[in-house]
Homo-oligomer: A and B are copies of this chain.
């Protein structure tokens, strides 16, 4: 399997590119994810250990097996997390976007410094904050709300992971694609309060078909055929390869949650 991970000349574009004021208050991600949990004062303290970083599309910023030195908080863009086998087979374990917290998963007695058990790459241009892992963990007892938030983040990821195991172990290709489309819609917060939208739903998929295949445990051809069938059946429209419209979310959901 040659050329599994097409790289777009990885370059660290802009290290430590703080917002103009240098304060979290001016950050676009101030009111989402981890940063939403903290008071301005707390954030001020943490900010000292943070660096703002911009990543080019395709750039890897966490490598499986390397020492876990940082936590990350994504401000914008989309990231793929994955594990790989020695022969190149890849399983994408998740996509993350603005507000998501990254870097909990390390080997050993966990929250202690160990080694990353996954790799992470930017899908498109990504802006994120990088925290020194040891420093943040040491300060954790000073920020009880943050510690609780981390637990919430971990538990939420666990819930998602279980759902994905069900998908990978027991769903057909068509069900997997339908499930993904709905999950992605929810993930984009296009579906308020987790409710299923009645109307049609417009969304863009930043990831390639290869990413989708490696996320859903099938091949790119199978992804393409499944999308084609959903299109033929009138459940979705695909005006462009990376642009999908959910025409009939309810029928899609029926398909996703198990052909009864």
| A89 sits at the interface (CB 8 A) | yes
A260 to B84, CA, bound (A): 12
Cβ of A141: which chain B residues have Cβ within 8 Å of it?
A: 144
Q: Nearest CB to that of A213 among chain B residues?
A: B169
Q: A151-B154, A170-B217 are in contact. Are A259 and B165 (CB under 8 A)?
A: no
Q: A110-B151, A110-B152, A151-B111 are in contact. Are A162 and B93 (CB under 8 A)?
A: yes
Which residue from B110, B144, B158, B169 sits with its C-beta under 8 Å from A168?
A: B169
Cβ of A152: which chain B residues have Cβ within 8 Å of it?
A: 109-111
Within residues 134 to 175 of chain A, which ones have a CB less than 8 A from any CB in chain B? Answer: 140-141, 144, 147-148, 150-152, 154-159, 161-166, 168-171
Which residue from B117, B155, B162, B260 sits with its C-beta under 8 Å from A111?
A: B155
Interface band, chain A: 35 or more
| A91 sits at the interface (CB 8 A) | yes
Q: Which of A25-33, A99-107, A232-240 contacts B (4 or more CB under 8 A)?
A: A99-107
A108-121: CB near B (< 8 Å → 1, else 0) gives 01110000011000
Which residue from B166, B216, B259 sits with its C-beta under 8 Å from A91?
A: B166
Q: Are B85 and A257 in contact (CB under 8 A)?
A: yes
Most buried by B among A83, A85, A152, A217: A85
Q: Are A111 and B217 in contact (CB under 8 A)?
A: no
A163 to B117, CA, bound (A): 9
A90 to B216, CA, bound (A): 18
The 15 listed contacts between A and B (C-beta, < 8 Å) are A85-B171, A86-B260, A87-B259, A91-B165, A106-B159, A107-B159, A110-B155, A111-B148, A111-B155, A117-B162, A144-B144, A151-B154, A164-B165, A168-B217, A169-B214
Interface residues of A (CB under 8 A from B): 83, 85-87, 89-91, 93, 104-107, 109-111, 117-118, 140-141, 144, 147-148, 150-152, 154-159, 161-166, 168-171, 214, 216-217, 257-260
The 5 A-B residue pairs whose C-beta atoms are closest, nearest first, are: A169-B217, A85-B258, A168-B168, A154-B154, A161-B161
> Given A93-B166, A106-B159, A110-B151, list of 10 further CB < 8 A pairs?
A85-B166, A86-B257, A87-B259, A109-B152, A111-B152, A118-B162, A140-B148, A141-B144, A161-B165, A168-B169
